[in-house]
């Protein structure tokens, strides 16, 4: 920004890879005078921000002080009497780097590779393509796991096939059949229907409508020619007028997903022409089965009654309040124990309404009264992240306190850190597990309304779903059970081998205690050995591993079952992250947000020193 002339310079994307005319996406500095940079769509919607300049880095892209001399790119922010601007310089002056506002809406930093004779991508923000506002244009749906990421729903087609071939999706999708506006609901119903899109992250520009039922919400949209879509959930009825932008497809079961109903010509809705015929067939079948149909109705009514009993207990955040008798029945009188820990035992159970498997934790040593316990449980129910175990419900009857969670098919991480060659996790899975755990912890530390310190990070508290995606369990237990984990060791049940030095010495506890535990657990993920293991070469395995990493012998730490089938850059990064996390002084440890940045290849790390407290364990 030129302070003398008042001129603002922006970095603007091309329209597509062949057309250099201005596109929709741009990068600009804050016109209000701060040091922050924004990425914008159509110079109106901001979808990424750099954070303020701290004096050393931008807040949204943090770099540890001890790591700063080892970053590949040096970022500098300048604010003098004439200008406000930033520079990016490759540390190796012989290398060439360039920053591009890509047609994808992402800001990208490229470095020229002499060996490959090509540009190598170094930095991308936002890291997820679907975090770019309206990247798929009106009615286009972005799904990160598809290729390409943009698609059109049934009844829609790309507005410009040529642009889509060039990965320019900004024109979006158009309806195959143009809608005709009718004067009444009855007329409109003959020509118009709604396409049901499930697991959609709803766009933010919705109009809230006063409606108590999904049918009423549908009628409101149907009676308004400008209404393009509607959604109805626990927060009420929402409609979108004209073009609907920024649609994101989520995975089935993602708690952030909702069902969106998009206005479409009835002829374009799949199977709509067969509805009447299907109804006739069903009616004839019902008449034919006679007594059998009556029996089915009785069963259906019985199930509805059972379901209604649970619905009566639903609280805010969709938590279910169970009775103790219900949980006894669901767990078959607590007969199938999955595990036990410092906070209680866990049992497998079955939801009577759906048959879905859940896990029931019977808590021990709860000091909270019933009212405060319920308050804390409801707060925990609002904490949702893809790498945190989902709380489904609870029971609070006198001294009986239980929690109901999603059931994880692949159990806890500790069961995979064993000598069984056939159960050994591959390197790619291990690295993704490490990143997932880091993201979950970063969310607890930095993104919740109040910072949540886990206090017991260990493989037993990392659960794996059917895709081996990690979920942190037992978070928030300290406050829920009425214990103060922020003071001294005697008030907690942390696990030896994962406890930070300051915790053992009775110092106040901060999120950096979780960072230490995370680092200790990373060593186990890398090596396939438990921290308590001993061998001919070592008395205390983490000390031996830290010494090997400091000497550059990272392959010595690697699990032998992997037979060196590993990405070496990732191995080096993970080993160094682990050893920085277990430093004696918490000031020397990174935050979990910074760990995520490192694991996503934003910075390189120098070799960490061996923690002083480990020196006495190192032999030879």
β-strand pairing of 73-79 with 84-90:
antiparallel
Cβ burial of 118 (10 Å; 0-12, 13-18, 19+) is exposed
Calculate ∠ Cα 456-462-468, nearest 5°: 165
Binding residues: 361
Binding residues for ATP: 361
Q: How far apart are CA 493 and CA 560, in angstroms?
A: 32
Q: How far apart are CA 564 and CA 576, in angstroms?
A: 18
CA atoms within 13 A on the CB side of 227: 28
Q: How far apart are CA 65 and CA 57, in angstroms?
A: 10
- Catalytic pick from 456, 474, 514, 559? 456
What H or E segment, with its residue span, contains residue 526? helix 512-527
Cβ burial of 176 (10 Å; 0-12, 13-18, 19+) is middle
Whether 82 is catalytic is: no
* DSSP calls for 108-167: EEEEEETTTTEEEEEEEESSSGGGSTTTT-TTEEE-TTSSSSEEE-TTEEES-HHHHHTT
Bridge partner list, 237:
209, 232
C-alpha distances out from residue 548 to 542, 554, 558, 620, Å: 10, 6, 11, 12
Q: How far apart are CA 294 and CA 296, in angstroms?
A: 5
Q: How far apart are CA 332 and CA 270, in angstroms?
A: 43
How many residues can be counted in the chain? Answer: 620
Best CA proximity match to 398, nearest among 419, 435, 373: 373
Cβ burial of 109 (10 Å; 0-12, 13-18, 19+) is buried
Q: How far apart are CA 47 and CA 31, in angstroms?
A: 16
HEC per residue, 17-33: CCCCCEEEEEEEECCCC
End-to-end Cα distance, the chain: 59
HEC per residue, 591-610: CHHHHHHHHCCCCCCCCCCC
Q: How far apart are CA 382 and CA 371, in angstroms?
A: 17
Decide: 586 and 500 in contact? Cβ < 8 Å. yes
Decide: 134 and 45 in contact? Cβ < 8 Å. yes
User: Could you tell me where the beta strands, DSSP code E, fall in 398-497?
Assistant: 400-406, 462-464, 470-472
Nearest 5°: phi and psi at 350? Answer: -130, 130
Q: Which residues are annotated as catalytic?
A: 456
């Amino acid at each position: 920004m030129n302070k003398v002339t008042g001129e603002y310079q922006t970095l603007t994307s091309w329209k597509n890879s062949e057309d250099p005319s201005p596109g929709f996406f741009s990068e600009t500095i804050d016109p209000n005078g701060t040091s922050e940079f924004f990425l914008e769509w159509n110079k109106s919607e901001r979808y990424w921000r750099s954070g303020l300049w701290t004096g050393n880095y931008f807040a949204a892209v943090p770099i540890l002080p001890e790591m700063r001399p080892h970053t590949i790119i040096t970022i500098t922010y300048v604010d003098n009497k004439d200008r406000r601007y930033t520079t990016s310089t490759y540390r190796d002056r012989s290398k060439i780097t360039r920053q591009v506002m890509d047609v994808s809406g992402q800001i990208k930093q490229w470095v020229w590779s002499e060996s490959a004779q090509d540009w190598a991508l170094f930095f991308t923000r936002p890291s997820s393509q679907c975090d770019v506002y309206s990247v798929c244009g009106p009615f286009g749906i972005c799904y990160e796991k598809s290729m390409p990421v943009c698609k059109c729903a049934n009844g829609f087609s790309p507005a410009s096939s040529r642009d889509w071939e060039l990965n320019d999706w900004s024109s979006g999708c158009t309806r195959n059949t143009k809608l005709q506006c009718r004067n009444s609901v009855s007329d409109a119903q003959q020509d118009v229907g709604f396409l049901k899109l499930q697991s959609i992250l709803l766009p933010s520009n919705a109009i809230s409508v006063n409606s108590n039922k999904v049918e009423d919400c549908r009628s409101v949209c149907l009676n308004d020619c400008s209404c393009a879509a509607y959604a109805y959930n626990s927060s009420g009825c929402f409609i979108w007028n004209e073009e609907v932008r920024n649609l994101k497809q989520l995975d089935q079961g993602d708690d952030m997903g909702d069902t969106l109903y998009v206005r479409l010509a009835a002829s374009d809705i799949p199977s709509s022409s067969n509805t009447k015929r299907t109804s006739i067939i069903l009616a004839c079948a019902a008449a034919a089965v006679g007594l059998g149909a009556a029996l089915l109705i009785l069963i259906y009514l019985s199930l509805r009654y059972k379901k209604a009993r649970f619905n009566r207990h639903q609280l805010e955040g969709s938590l279910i309040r169970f009775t103790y008798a219900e949980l006894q029945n669901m767990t078959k009188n607590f007969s199938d124990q999955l595990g036990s820990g410092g906070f209680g035992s866990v049992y497998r159970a079955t939801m009577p309404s759906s048959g879905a498997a859940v896990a029931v934790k019977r808590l021990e040593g709860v000091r909270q009264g019933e009212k405060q316990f319920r308050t804390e449980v409801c707060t925990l129910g609002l904490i949702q992240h893809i790498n945190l175990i989902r709380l489904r419900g609870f029971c609070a009857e006198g001294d009986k306190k239980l929690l109901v969670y999603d059931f994880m098919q692949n159990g806890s991480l500790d069961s995979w850190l064993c000598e069984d060659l056939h159960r050994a996790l591959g390197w790619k899975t291990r690295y993704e597990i490490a990143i997932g755990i880091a993201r979950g912890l970063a969310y607890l530390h930095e993104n919740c309304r109040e910072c949540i310190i886990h206090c017991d990070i260990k493989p037993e508290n990392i659960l794996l779903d059917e895709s081996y995606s990690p979920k942190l369990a037992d978070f928030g237990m300290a406050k829920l059970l009425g214990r103060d984990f922020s003071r001294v060791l005697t008030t907690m049940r942390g696990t030896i081998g994962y406890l930070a030095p300051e915790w053992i010495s009775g110092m106040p506890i901060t999120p950096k205690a979780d960072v230490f535990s995370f680092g200790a657990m990373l060593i186990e993920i890398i090596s396939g050995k438990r921290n308590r293991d001993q061998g001919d070469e070592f008395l205390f395995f983490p000390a031996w591993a830290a010494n090997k990493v400091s000497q550059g012998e990272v392959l010595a730490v690697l699990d032998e079952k992997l037979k060196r089938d590993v990405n070496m850059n990732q191995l080096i990064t993970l080993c160094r992250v682990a050893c920085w996390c277990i430093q004696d002084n918490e000031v020397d440890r990174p935050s979990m947000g910074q760990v995520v940045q490192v694991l996503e290849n934003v910075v390189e790390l120098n070799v960490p020193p061996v923690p002083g407290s480990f020196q006495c364990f190192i032999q030879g």
